[in-house]
Structure 1
Amino acid sequence: MADLFADEMPEGSAPDQPREDAPLADRLRPRGLDEVIGQEHLTGPEGAIGRMVAAGKLSSIILWGPPGTGKTSTARLLADAVGMRFAAVSAVFSGVADLKKAFAEAETAMKMGQRTLLFVDEIHRFNRAQQDGFLPFVERGTVTLVGATTENPSFALNAALLSRAQVLVLNRLDEAALTTLLDRAEALAGPLPLDEDARAALVATADGDGRFLLNQAETLYAARIEAPLSPSELGKFLQRRMAVYDKDRDGHYNLISAFHKSVRGSDPQAALYYMARMLVAGEEPLYILRRLAAIASEDIGLADPQAMVQVMAAKQSFEFLGSPEGELPLAQAVIYCASAPKSNASYMAKAAAMDLARQTGSVSPPMNILNAPTKMMKELGYGAAYHYDHDQPDAFSGDNYWPESVPPQQFYQPNERGFERDLKKRLEWWHRKRAERRGA
């Protein structure tokens, strides 16, 4: 499960038996697809990989999943299961020369009647031109490509390459899968020096990464600890795995999306959780506040105008206090926004106004509301018949403010939630007054 790079494996052969002094993760590498943990939705009889193996024919695939979920091992075992030659390159260490060599060897093998599965680890690290270099060899059948990536293939891989490969998603290992993996480790190397609660804590610290879990277990074995450790003692002995979170990659966008939708969906508990997930992973609090300011306008708007006030106050407080104290006003703003009445009326009104502005171009506003700073402009009718609202009853003239060729529109449609209920009544009152003045 933990192998990062692979040597070629002869057709039909099983993976070599690891040395006794090999890393624990290497010694526990699965010997068959049925031993791959946590990916039964792919390797089982009804899964995509299971069906390919049953048919004895493998198409090019992209294995997409978090670190430590068995991508490399799955590729190795696939080659063995369908009787193919296995070759591997890593985009981290390989260049054009390595790829040319791999393709040349595959062509030689093909002439001898031997098909090649080319495993490309971290395939997203190859640039667009290098990815295009795979296409002719895949199309001719020189190689069957199995790429592995932790990044979203939709963004990380060429469309041309994706059109020739099926994307298979590997699951993050859940608690049951990690526990099974730890059971295998103990069956091989003996009981870990942990009490029951510490063992559960060790599983939790892995954060779905099987390789990390086995590396932590190996560290415990190497320490030759006699008395079982408690969770607190384990925490002092081992480091916790940092959450997977690249600020310009999927982890970043997935969490901020979950955060936004939790606030929009009026679930302050979930919103706080995703806020905390981002903070723990090292996200800048000001980034979260910027998204919260957008939410205050897009999803709350005038249903609760205080939402924006809370967000901006939290921003000022954070800039004044810094971390960690400044994260408390952030949490307060998150709770306020998630608990506030929701309305996207302002958002929809702005979008509708922008659409009409694009359609109507540069039509002139009505003459009555144009300024007339010169005598000539007054003679031309600029500002004629304009009524100063503050001089009118109720400080409301009811004048027309729309271009002659553009009929009045109703962009803003307030709902019955929060402060917009009052705004709706106010707009309805002005609408009646406007009709009365124009009918007079």
Structure 2
Amino acid sequence: MARSFVPARFPDRAGAPISVTMADLFLSSTPDATPHGDNVPLADRLRPQTLSDVVGQDHLTGPEGAIGRMVAAGRLSSIIFWGPPGTGKTTISRLLAQAVGMRFEPISAIFSGVADLKKIFAAARDHARTGQRTLLFVDEIHRFNRAQQDGFLPFVEDGTVTLVGATTENPSFELNAALLSRAQVLILRRLDSDALGLLLDRAEALMDRPLPLDAAAREALIASADGDGRFLLNQAETLFSVDLPAPLDPVGLSALLHRRVAVYDKDREGHYNLISALHKSLRGSDPQAALYYLARMLVAGEDPLYVLRRLVRFASEDIGLADPQALIQCLAAKDSYDFLGSPEGELAVVQACLYCATAPKSNGAYKAMKAAWKSARDTGSLMPPANILNAPTRLMKDVGYGQGYEYDHDAKDGYSGADYWPRDMTPQTFYTPGERGFEARIAERMAWWSKLRAERGGA
């Protein structure tokens, strides 16, 4: 299929087109330090000129999207862009400022401090006096601490700046509530294969030659980017720079390039998203999905013992007595991993994962625990009935401890049906076994005991 794309260009004051360069985008105040021409990275040469050129974010940039509506109205509210790396947060922010005629002031929370912000706010006020509004773009805004984030508030509230922050982390956890209340959170999506394919089309049009890949290798290249457009274009630039006798197949591509490392911070949201997905796949009895999320975590470098702790918990919370062996399997997997380590011990983790996914499910023990704990808090210090208390001293015997206790092993059917509840408390039901797995047998046994208790006048 023929591919064509006209590279985005800005018009200069005389009307002639000029190419988008790193200077246009990042270093306009220091043009002498800017690389030119072929020295500019491919990803920067392909930065869009207008919002309509942005790929993969039509839900925001389209006419019905939040950004499209703001541009149509000619006025921006403060925004927090939340999304994976390489999805266009910086580019969209710059194009937003251009679309509504605002001055664009970019900073990075990694390299900036309070002194830098004070200078920016002072300059923004000076420009405001001449009618020039300022869009302050803060990359990695979650890197600012809580006090620094609070420092934005008065300048956002009085209109000195319109704040556009970019973060790869969940704003709910990383940004102050006060700041979030003054900004609209917009979520950028991971670029899908169509969007990434369009980026490659544009790269080939700009370079005026196809990538040295066969169709299967092209698909493999797109998959390797893991939704990151910047990474994909950097890989494409490498491919354009090498002289190859023939197009590469997937094996040749893999030998030449490396895959993008999966985004996974063990103390951040990606970590909790994947463990949640694993837990819910197990609960839903989907061993294939559960194994996938387990692999995602372990391949990304998660500690197998963390996963095993979650599996042990799952065995009690979501399987319980429907299959008592599940807990034993998980603990055995933990012992196996302790003994073997990685990678050999990871097979035991897989076995425990598959056992839990395919076991009958019951949350009866979990619900019983919650109910019993609540009852214990509500009833305070009620004494057990005297007949089931030990009486190791004469005085205790004299006051009735142990009197009338029925020894169940001596009772008919090994069951006395006695009342074990405090005298001032109505007997309650915390645990109700389900009808799946071993719990079905437990339910039968408990029903039989209830019948005997009723016949013998017990509780």
Q: Quick check: 1:193–1:226 contact (8 Å CA) kept in 2?
A: no
Please show how residues 383-394 of structure 1 align to structure 2 within 5 Å.
383-394=402-413
SS of match in other structure, 1:438: coil
TM-score (norm 1): 0.95
* 1:329 Cα deviation after fit: 1.8
Matches of 2:458 and 2:166, distance apart in 1:
72
Please show how residues 114-193 of structure 1 align to structure 2 within 5 Å.
114-189=132-207, 190-193=209-212
Matches of 2:132 and 2:403, distance apart in 1:
89
Structure 1 residue identity aligned to 2:155: F
Match for 1:304 among 313, 316, 323? 323
* 1:282 Cα deviation after fit: 0.9
2:16 aligned partner: none
Identity %: 69
* 1:144 Cα deviation after fit: 0.3
Matches of 1:181 and 1:98, distance apart in 2:
35
Matches of 1:197 and 1:337, distance apart in 2:
37
* 1:102 Cα deviation after fit: 0.8
* 1:3 Cα deviation after fit: 7.7
1:13 aligned partner: none
1:33 aligned partner: 51
Question: How many residues align structurally?
Answer: 435
| Cα distance, 1:265–1:413 mapped onto 2, change above 3 Å | same
The yes-or-no answer on 1:287 pairing with 2:328 is no
The yes-or-no answer on 1:371 pairing with 2:390 is yes
Query: Which consecutive segments of 4 or more residues in structure 1 shift more than 3 A?
Result: 1-10, 16-20
Match for 1:88 among 62, 84, 106? 106
* 1:7 Cα deviation after fit: 4.3
* 1:406 Cα deviation after fit: 1.1
Structure 1 stretch 374-383 or stretch 172-181: which is displaced more? 374-383
Q: Quick check: 2:21–2:45 contact (8 Å CA) kept in 1?
A: no
* 1:223 Cα deviation after fit: 2.4
Matches of 2:63 and 2:28, distance apart in 1:
25
TM-score (norm 2): 0.92
Q: Quick check: 1:61–1:146 contact (8 Å CA) kept in 2?
A: yes
The yes-or-no answer on 1:77 pairing with 2:92 is no
Please show how residues 336-415 of structure 1 align to structure 2 within 5 Å.
336-415=355-434
Q: Quick check: 1:398–1:437 contact (8 Å CA) kept in 2?
A: yes
Q: Quick check: 2:22–2:40 contact (8 Å CA) kept in 1?
A: no
Unpaired runs of 5+ in structure 2?
Answer: 1-19
Structure 1 residue identity aligned to 2:66: A
Structure 2 residue identity aligned to 1:346: A
Structure 2 residue identity aligned to 1:286: L
Matches of 1:255 and 1:23, distance apart in 2:
34
SS of match in other structure, 2:39: coil
| Cα distance, 1:136–1:36 mapped onto 2, change above 3 Å | same
2:15 aligned partner: none
* 1:8 Cα deviation after fit: 7.7
Q: RMSD of the TM alignment (CA)?
A: 2.0
Matches of 1:328 and 1:419, distance apart in 2:
27
Q: Cα deviations across residues 138-160 of structure 1 (Å, max 9, x unaligned)?
A: 00000000000000000010000
Matches of 1:414 and 1:111, distance apart in 2:
73
Q: Cα deviations across residues 166-187 of structure 1 (Å, max 9, x unaligned)?
A: 0000000011100100111111
Structure 2 residue identity aligned to 1:397: S
SS of match in other structure, 1:180: helix
Structure 2 residue identity aligned to 1:109: H
Structure 2 residue identity aligned to 1:135: L
2:81 aligned partner: 63
Matches of 1:163 and 1:221, distance apart in 2:
46
* 1:398 Cα deviation after fit: 1.6
Structure 2 residue identity aligned to 1:301: G
| Cα distance, 1:19–1:109 mapped onto 2, change above 3 Å | farther
| Cα distance, 1:264–1:4 mapped onto 2, change above 3 Å | farther
Q: Quick check: 2:322–2:362 contact (8 Å CA) kept in 1?
A: yes
Structure 2 residue identity aligned to 1:74: I
Matches of 2:243 and 2:72, distance apart in 1:
45
* 1:278 Cα deviation after fit: 0.8
Structure 2 residue identity aligned to 1:29: R
Matches of 1:389 and 1:268, distance apart in 2:
43
Matches of 2:77 and 2:22, distance apart in 1:
23
Structure 1 stretch 262-271 or stretch 369-378: which is displaced more? 369-378
Matches of 1:392 and 1:4, distance apart in 2:
91
Structure 2 residue identity aligned to 1:252: H
Q: Quick check: 1:2–1:70 contact (8 Å CA) kept in 2?
A: no
SS of match in other structure, 1:147: strand
Q: Cα deviations across residues 314-333 of structure 1 (Å, max 9, x unaligned)?
A: 11122222222222222121
Structure 1 residue identity aligned to 2:219: A
Matches of 1:315 and 1:362, distance apart in 2:
39
2:12 aligned partner: none
The yes-or-no answer on 1:423 pairing with 2:408 is no
